[in-house]
Amino acid sequence: MIPIITTLPLLQMASGDRLFLQVYKFIGTKPGRKVYLQSNLHGAELTGNAVIHQLMQWLGSLEPTQLAGEIWLVPLCNPLGTNTRSHHFSPGRFDAYSGENWNRIFWEYQPNVEDLTAFAQSQMECDRPTIEQNYRDRMWASFEKLAAPLKAPSGQPFCDHYRFLLQSLCLDAHYVIDLHTSSDQGLTYLYYFRNRQTSARLFMLPLGILLDEYAGGAFDEAFIKPWLALEDCFAQLGRKIQFEIEAWTLELGSAMQIDAGTVDRGVQAVKNYLLQKGILRVPAAPTPMPSIATMKLVASSQMKKYYAPMGGMVQARVALGKTVEAGQRLYQILSFNKGLNQGSETEQMPTVLDICAEQSGIVYDVSINHAVNQGEYVLGIL
């Protein structure tokens, strides 16, 4: 299969140079569902680019007859973020101009309760594909209203242009997969939404986190929440219905790195998902897949982040991936206390403070920088 490559102008810089998005579309000979994958929305989170490259190579080795539907791939989906530097570092999580988190800017279709209920009531006798299409039509009509202000003489901030372009690529998709990493050092896991735990296991990752608390404006949320709202509305009207529409955020290890093992895991995760969903039909994979049942599922509300209670140097920290018990030491802060009027000299000597776990769990994420100002993030446990 050879992809159709579409290059989309994204942004003209002050220097006159332009940034683009490039979309690789693999189109099967059989009709089917649309899969949308993107990577590097946060500029420092690189692993997904390598995952998409390997997926492209794999898809390139298949025939169009083996693909039902289409797969759209958008690596480097945020060139401005990817190119941002602070010396060696790619901060890339926030738009340096506006301060916005790149993954909190997305538009969500939110009909009011009366409109949603009226729509669901009007569809009670319809089959699922019809409802899906009718709802998509409404969503598109609402989305297209965002276009006019972008072209107006008064213009709009770049984030509004950016989200419009990115969401225009995926609004009609069935499956959206957003490839991230920690912005520090993290494990490999995914975020999923309610009632999608069976599909979550198809990624065969060790850990799945149910998003039972929403961040607001995240790419995966913006895509799936309108569908969850419609499912809820039907449930209240007494009809149980679940749309074959899913959104996933995969967290593939650490920022600013491309670790071969993590890339492999990401590739296997997406491949297995596409195969199990019937998007692709290939002879049995030569290497045995890990057991689907080994995925541990937990809720995002159980995630506990630890922030430095005082400024200093983080030392003796527990390793990423370790299981800790409540009360166990997580790390120490070595603080070179400075200040005037502290009474005795002993108060001005360096101190070492033990920070202990409030709850047991797995250390899923740790900060890269061991120097922390008071209140800075150190690690996360779930």
Give the residues lining the site for Zn ion (CB under 5 A).
Answer: 42, 45, 180
Q: How far is the CB of 329 from Zn ion (least distance, A)?
A: 29
User: What is the rounded (10 degree) CA torsion for 200, 201, 206, 210?
Assistant: 30
Closest to Zn ion by CB, 221 vs 231, is 221
Expressed in percent and rounded to 5, the helix, strand and coil fractions of the chain are 30, 30, 40
Q: What angle do CA 370, 337, 326 make, to 5 degrees?
A: 55
Closest to Zn ion by CB, 182 vs 335, is 182
| Half-sphere exposure in the Cβ direction for 118 (13 Å, CA) | 6
Closest to Zn ion by CB, 259 vs 309, is 259
Q: How far is the CB of 39 from Zn ion (least distance, A)?
A: 10
The CA-atom distances, in angstroms, between 161 and each of 91, 148, 165 are 22, 11, 6
CB 322 within 8 A of CB 362: yes
DSSP H or E run through 275: helix 260-276
Task: State the helix-helix crossing angle for 128-144 and 219-236, rounded to 10 degrees.
Answer: 130
Q: How far is the CB of 244 from Zn ion (least distance, A)?
A: 26
Closest to Zn ion by CB, 26 vs 191, is 191
Token pair belonging to 27: 């189109």
CB 353 within 8 A of CB 333: yes
DSSP H or E run through 137: helix 128-144
Q: How far is the CB of 18 from Zn ion (least distance, A)?
A: 25
Nearest alpha carbon to residue 32 among 285, 272, 277:
277
Residue type present at position 87: H
Q: How far is the CB of 265 from Zn ion (least distance, A)?
A: 17
Q: Quick check: helix, strand or coil at residue 213? A: coil
Closest to Zn ion by CB, 230 vs 252, is 252
Closest to Zn ion by CB, 70 vs 178, is 178
Closest to Zn ion by CB, 92 vs 312, is 92
Q: How far is the CB of 261 from Zn ion (least distance, A)?
A: 20
Closest to Zn ion by CB, 67 vs 270, is 270
Q: Quick check: helix, strand or coil at residue 338? A: coil
The Cα–Cα gap between 309 and 333 comes to 9
Token pair belonging to 327: 């009360």
- Taken as a whole, the chain contains a residue count of 382
Q: How far is the CB of 180 from Zn ion (least distance, A)?
A: 3
Q: How far is the CB of 103 from Zn ion (least distance, A)?
A: 6
